[in-house]
Amino acid sequence: MQKIKNEDLGRKSVEEFKQSEKLPVVLVLDNVRSLNNVGSAFRTADSFLLENLYLCGVTGTPPNAEIEKTALGATESINWKHFKTTKDAVKDLKEKGYQVYSIEQVEKSTYLQNFKYQKDEKIAIIFGNEVYGVEQEVIDVCDGSIEIPQLGTKHSLNISVSIGIVVWEIAKRYL
């Protein structure tokens, strides 16, 4: 087994990325404080050809050296938009025909492995603040909540890990 060289991976240029058909998925960051987590969200969104990234409230925005350190250039490929509040972002998404889901531990949540949707359905997934999660007023206007089952004592994952798990689970249905 030989490791593949970067130049042999078939990476898209930024222009090719922008012209590619995207997965109909929007990541929404609800008051995410860590710029490293924001950069990771950009990088994951790029990796899976996601449609858009919505940055809300106090969530940092490009250009920013701390975001770029983790994003590794994905701020150039991913379409992104900032909203004053996450509720404003949800309103925008619903007007565009998206089903909106928070990633949160709430009553009557759907475990990620049981989350069902149609491949042609446009979905948005909201990830919350590192300490407080998704704001309750945002959960109240979502179409549902998805929970990542956890078995240990913490029942808390870093947001960048949660984004990776959820996006992979959704993206693999398109492969």
| CA 75 – CA 79 distance, rounded (Å) | 8
Tens of each residue's pLDDT in the chain, 175 residues: 999 988 888 889 999 999 999 999 999 999 999 999 999 999 999 999 999 999 999 999 999 999 999 999 999 999 999 999 999 999 999 999 999 999 999 999 999 999 998 888 999 999 999 999 999 999 999 999 999 999 999 888 999 999 999 999 999 988 8
Give me the pLDDT at residue 155, please. Answer: 86
- For residue 173, the model assigns a pLDDT of 86
Delineate the domains of the chain, giving CATH numbers in brackets: 20-174 (3.40.1280.10)
Provide the residue type at 32 as one letter: V
132 sits in which H/E element: none
CA distance linking residue 29 with residue 157, whole number of Å: 15
pLDDT of residue 68: 97
- Show the beta-strand stretches assigned E in the chain: 23-30, 50-56, 80-83, 99-103, 110-111, 123-127, 144-147
In angstroms, rounded to a whole number, what is the distance separating the alpha carbons of residues 80 and 74?
11
In the sheet with 110-111, reading across from the earlier edge strand, the strands are 80-83, 50-56, 23-30, 123-127, 99-103, 144-147, 110-111
